[in-house]
A and B are shown apart, each in its own frame.
Chain A
């Protein structure tokens, strides 16, 4: 027994994590069995084991226990052999990849402390040495290839840099940048603050940076500005504003604290409280800022949306995110910020793991350009809902068949670039479905906002049998899953005319929606059921029962909290809109602190590197509450912009 204990303290653990698709599991097992049969007497190898991860069923963990005095400066050739072998037998890329290789003192590893990173570079050096030997010519003239090849050798597709952090990240050696891409010899341009992305967060950051005298340039890869923000639903959660709508409309109490509690709870307490605090304490001020400086206009309505315990969701007059992006753009342009469309980031430059971010490589219509960053880089590139491979890599349940509400540019390459220079990420598996998207195309058009906005005023959801299936005031993840479990597409929201303006809608929008065939109008519930082709008796019964629940103040079916603001479905005309979940928001992303500084995998700030908006993780936890996105983006964008401008050039 004592013998074993002794070993624990003088042993090195090497851990390889791989993720497999279900059908490749047996291949992995037989491969590893084969490997270990042959290497059982490997010098210095004390023990090995591989087992299925208890956290993620598709993850396999391979542990190699080494003698401390064993010479693993060779970069643990066994692990290298394993990952190379995995590639050789074709279990690479999205079938399988190495998630991380850590080598460290087992004591620290068990205590959960950060492991000794010496091993990374050793392994990497081995790869490099071999690289140099086998492909001398290639090394010189195409530095990117070294990295790619290095990654590929380790069984990782070029597109999955993200998963390769363990191999990619040690830049501590003198010749480190050669391991990634060679720093440009000369810069094409110098800019104070470079902002990546022209959505809410990017515009807010550029505006605040510009206001403080920094020359800010927004790089937008798409040919139009605004990303997902300009097509966003245009709803904004704030416990108050200079318009004091809640007080005016007599809709009860609210406070930043209550908003804070709702947000934490809505995200299952995965959120970083400091970031949530930024959001809930800054949202009213940010809204006022857009009203005062940008001329943003709000509708005279306030709604209570799923997961919120107060009427705090504001709707912009335009009824779409453009109503916020335009004011933000106006402010940003007022302070001299410039937007360059069709400018796509292809790399983020950093020399080593201690130093600051140096610049960015950009693909412009006129060719490649390297921009040196004088003050700071603000990453506001949004989420990855339209990146099907990345979606599945982190959350296999988000199958390709799902529609998405997002614009085509919502892909995750900037997250990978950030990871490649050491940035930490979190919560990447948390991906939200918007429960009420247009069923055919998955877009979040104007009518698709009604099911979200109407629930606080009594709107109900029914399935194709005319029955309710969920507490309508539930969070988005719950509403989405409730629909998917029905197995019958689509479901419908039912509301009446009285609710329309209260929930921030307009009759003009209703008319337009009817013309497009999105809203269905009927004078009676019977007629509505006929038009929707759902059993008349069922819907009549459902509505009758529901009306009674509102009067009783109690919903025994689904326990929806009934409020006084809710309206019974007694008086027509009635309206219905079809709905179905679509991939909407990626809660995970880059790890930042409360100053929006990007944090690296060792827990340190990456100097001159900020991130804000959907590209960051940790604000919304496992599930974002509806209407929390814009305040998150604007508040953190502003913080990033203010801090970026104060960096020394």
Chain B
């Protein structure tokens, strides 16, 4: 009996090895095809399998298009985590110097799109591309609040909706409260034990102060209270 089990195990390992080899051979073929366009993941990753999450299915192909055969790019603008978009961006934005958006994305006629898809993320100015890249880098690894959101798979559109924010735009309170609310629950969570009155979310300046007065996403947050109450010990967790 033991022998039979051993044999079955051996056969299955053999089978797996065979399949693996076939996949690799396929991938190498594709690599030859696509490297000229500079959109291959193999540019940086010798073995794609190494950078995939644990238990990820083997990947055919070496471009973002391969990912998109299974993963649908999440075009939702809801205030919610988007794990695929988040994971793929956070990994790449960490290597700040190597990050090149155009490996996966396309930029033709000012339209920002995705390689081998019809998806468009709208019109972008050229200078915005660099800004977005920098913000992604901050989002992936800074000590600011954007990085805290990055860790929770909250990507741009989760806060900014579908439109690229213009200079001076601020995220509305409702958007923040979609995840962090409702306000009264938030107030309860942030009530200091020693001085319940010094609740930053229940300010004497009113309940409708913009969250962005204190919480900045892409730069360090500031505690507005300290402008007058210099002796308060207040810190904003999560940057």
Contact = CB atoms under 8 A, between A and B. Distances in A.
B166 A366 contact: yes
A408 B166 CA distance: 28
B185 interface: no
B229 A443 contact: yes
Interface stretch (A223-231, A496-504, A547-555): A223-231
B204 A223 contact: no
B170 A365 contact: yes
A441 interface: yes
Nearest to A516: B195
Contacts of A366: 166-169
B53 interface: no
Contact of B167 (A320, A365, A512): A365
B213 A408 contact: no
Contact of B168 (A231, A322, A364, A515): A364
Given A365-B168, A366-B166, A366-B168, A226 B205 contact: yes
A297 interface: no
A443 B228 contact: yes
Given A224-B205, A230-B205, A320-B204, A441 B170 contact: no
Given A322-B205, A407-B228, A223 B168 contact: no
Interface string B194-216: 01110000001110011011000
A247 B167 CA distance: 57
A367 B210 contact: no
B227 interface: yes
B231 A223 contact: no
A407 B204 CA distance: 13
A223 B224 contact: yes
Interface in A435-462: 440-441, 443
B11 to A, nearest CB: 68
Contact of B230 (A322, A441, A512): A441
Contacts of A512: 197
Contacts of A408: 227-228
* Main SS class of interface, B: loop
B211 to A, nearest CB: 11
A231 B228 contact: yes
B195 A441 contact: no
B168 A367 contact: yes
Max chain A Cβ within 10 angstroms of own Cβ: one of B167, B196, B205, B209: B205
A326 B170 CA distance: 24
Nearest to A406: B228
Contacts of B231: 440-441
B228 A224 contact: no
A341 interface: yes
A444 B16 CA distance: 75
Contacts of A226: 205-206
A359 to B, nearest CB: 20
Contact of B228 (A320, A364, A440, A441): A441
Max chain A Cβ within 10 angstroms of own Cβ: one of B166, B167, B206, B231: B206
Contacts of B206: 224-226, 230, 322, 326
B224 A224 contact: yes
B228 A341 contact: no
Contacts of B204: 230-231, 320, 322
A515 B170 CA distance: 37
A407 B225 CA distance: 10
B197 A441 contact: no
Interface string A207-244: 00000000000000001111000110000000000000
Interface string A356-380: 0000000011110000000000000
Given A226-B205, A364-B168, A367-B167, 15 more contacts: A223-B209, A223-B210, A223-B212, A230-B205, A230-B206, A326-B206, A365-B169, A365-B170, A366-B167, A366-B168, A367-B168, A407-B228, A408-B227, A441-B228, A441-B229
Interface of B: 166-170, 195-197, 204-206, 209-210, 212-213, 224, 227-231
30 contacts: A223-B209, A223-B210, A223-B213, A224-B205, A224-B206, A224-B209, A224-B213, A226-B206, A231-B204, A231-B228, A320-B204, A322-B205, A322-B206, A326-B206, A365-B167, A365-B168, A365-B170, A366-B168, A367-B167, A367-B168, A407-B227, A407-B228, A408-B227, A441-B228, A441-B229, A441-B230, A512-B197, A515-B197, A516-B195, A516-B197
